[in-house]
C-alpha cells in the first residue's frame, strides 16, 4: 500500500500533523453546523411533504 506521505519531507509531515491537530476543534464545529443545517432541510421536506421525486426530471 502506498501512503500519501511516503515521498514527503519528515519536517513537512510533522507540520501537517500539527496543523491537523490545531484545526480539530474547528473541523468539529463545522461538521456540527453542517449536520444541524441538513436536519433543518430534512425537517422542512417532511413538513411540506416533499421527496426526491419532486426534483426528478420527467422523461
Q: What is the pTM of this model?
A: 0.65
**CA-CA distance, 18 to 3, in Å (whole number)?**
18
* pLDDT of 2 higher than 80: no
Residue 1 has pLDDT above 70, yes or no: no
pLDDT, tens digit (0-9, with 9 covering 90-100), for 25-36:
999 999 999 999
Tell me what the mean pLDDT of segment 41-58 comes to: 90
Q: Give the list of residues 6+ apart from residue 59 with CB closer than 8 angstroms, or none.
A: none
Selection from 50, 32, 54 nearest residue 41 by Cα: 50
- What secondary structure letter does DSSP report for 53? G
Q: What is the DSSP string of 41-52?
A: HHHHHHHTT--G
The mean pLDDT of the chain is: 89
Q: What share of the chain is helix, strand, coil (3-state, %, to 5)?
A: 70, 0, 30
Amino acid at each position: 500500500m502506498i501512503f500519501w506521505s511516503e515521498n514527503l519531507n519528515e519536517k513537512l509531515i510533522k507540520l501537517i500533523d500539527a496543523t491537523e491537530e490545531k484545526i480539530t476543534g474547528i473541523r468539529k464545529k463545522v461538521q456540527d453546523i453542517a449536520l444541524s443545517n441538513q436536519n433543518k432541510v430534512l425537517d422542512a421536506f417532511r413538513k411540506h411533504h416533499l421527496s426526491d421525486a419532486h426534483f426528478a426530471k420527467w422523461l
